[in-house]
């Protein structure tokens, strides 16, 4: 009782060999993909100031709405934290909008009625 079987603790040899082979095969692909991603980031970084200005204006507007509605209950530290969180949400939504889908892109699952 209470003794662990040795095979429960260690991965199976076949599974380990498959994971090593997959890592070796995917390593060159990963470096190629990173290079492409860095090139795309550099291109979008040039257009970032305009989206940052939009995001900051949006954050200011949302912060003013929150101040008007909940200003009596919020301290200045909470308001600053709220502005930072809203800024993060605005930046995330801009990144999602920047990702363009092709017409051939399909959902990850099948809808059934």
On the question of pLDDT at 14 being above 60, the answer is: yes
Q: In this predicted structure, what is the pLDDT of residue 77?
A: 92
Look at the block and give the residue holding tokens 């498959």: 18
CB 82 within 8 A of CB 74: yes
Q: In this predicted structure, what is the pLDDT of residue 71?
A: 84
Query: How far is the C-alpha of 77 from the C-alpha of 66, rounded, in Å?
Result: 14
pLDDT top residue among 39 and 80: 80
Mean pLDDT estimate for the chain: 75
CB 52 within 8 A of CB 90: no
Phi, psi for 35 (deg, rounded to 5) = -65, -40
Tokens of 10: 């260690």
Tokens of 34: 């990173």
Look at the block and give the residue holding tokens 């257009």: 47
pTM above 0.95, yes or no: no
């Amino acid at each position: 009782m209470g003794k662990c079987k040795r095979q429960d603790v260690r991965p199976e040899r076949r599974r380990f060999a498959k994971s090593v082979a997959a890592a070796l095969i995917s390593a060159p692909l990963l470096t190629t993909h990173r290079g492409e991603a860095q090139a795309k980031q550099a291109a979008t970084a040039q257009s970032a100031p305009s989206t940052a200005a939009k995001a900051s204006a949006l954050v200011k507007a949302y912060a003013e709405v929150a101040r008007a509605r909940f200003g009596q209950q919020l301290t200045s530290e909470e308001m600053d934290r709220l502005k930072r969180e809203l800024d993060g949400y605005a930046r995330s939504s801009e990144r999602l909008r920047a990702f363009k889908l092709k017409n051939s892109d399909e959902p990850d699952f099948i809808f059934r009625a």
